[in-house]
Amino acid sequence: MEEVKYVKNGKKLGVVGGMGPAAAAEFLRQLAVKCPASIDQEHPVIYMLGDSEIPDRGAAIFGQGPSPALRLKQDLLQLCAMGADVLAVPCNTAHYFINEFVEELPVPLVHIIEETVLAAQKLSPEGVWMLSTKGTRASGLYQKVADKYHFTLYIPNEEQSDRVQEVINQVKANHFLQAGTIMKALVEELWQERDLPVMTACTELPLGYDASGLPQERSISSIGALADAVVRQLYDEVRL
């Protein structure tokens, strides 16, 4: 019987984090767990730039603060100069600005929006609830990709979106218990309206979901989807 083995292909990963720090740390944790490695040397080389001083992405989308585009581009190019062969940014809203210059980057970027939509469609072809920052929702980032794949997203109402934002704020402040409590009540309310999984389309939200005690199989994590896609870029399948 043919055996399949996954072998590190030598590509180095560059990660821009700090948006927020807990989300980037969780991305790296999941990446370590998901890599098909049994010793240190089988894990990929990762260059991590935790730039917590990147301007607020949501505020910029609404014209209430400076654009983070230049800083994001500088950080990504710095990682390329360090030797990164593949790039990842564990922040959904940042991709609104990354899309402006992504084709100018010298190496490929694993796009968190695309990967999360594809993962959601695989889990729940009939559609999902989209939980995100108000900036991501207003930008249409996810809606455009979902339309491309003929996939249905259901959007919480304004009051529910305020509570989603509060979950994000609590995670950024390291108040995980409070975040989980708010998330649990919100998601159970959404499930009363429409019994579909939730797509956590902001990288703070998977942490809030984890703290809620809700079933993991009912959510699609943008952090998890990005980590899975990155692993596919860094390992090759070898048939023995």
**What is the reported pLDDT for 137?**
93
Collapsing DSSP to helix, strand or coil, 236 comes out as: strand
Q: Which has the closest alpha carbon to 132: 151, 148, 153, 147?
A: 153
The active-site residue, picked from 202, 205, 227, 234, is 202
Whether 40 has a pLDDT exceeding 70, the answer reads yes
Tell me: the pLDDT tens digits for 130-183?
Answer: 999 999 999 999 999 999 999 999 999 999 999 999 999 999 999 999 999 999
Annotated active-site residue in 19, 91, 112, 220: 91
Under DSSP, the state recorded for 94 is T
Does residue 2 carry a pLDDT above 80?
no
CA atoms 7, 203, 24, 97: torsion sign: positive
Based on the number of CB atoms within 10 Å of its own CB, is 31 exposed (0-12), middle (13-18) or buried (19 or more)? buried
Indicate the pTM of the whole model: 0.95
pLDDT value of position 239: 84
Known catalytic membership, residue 91: yes
Q: What is the pLDDT of residue 42?
A: 97
Span 99-110, average pLDDT: 98
What pLDDT does 3 receive? 80
Query: Given pLDDT bands bounded at 50, 70 and 90, which one contains residue 1?
Result: low
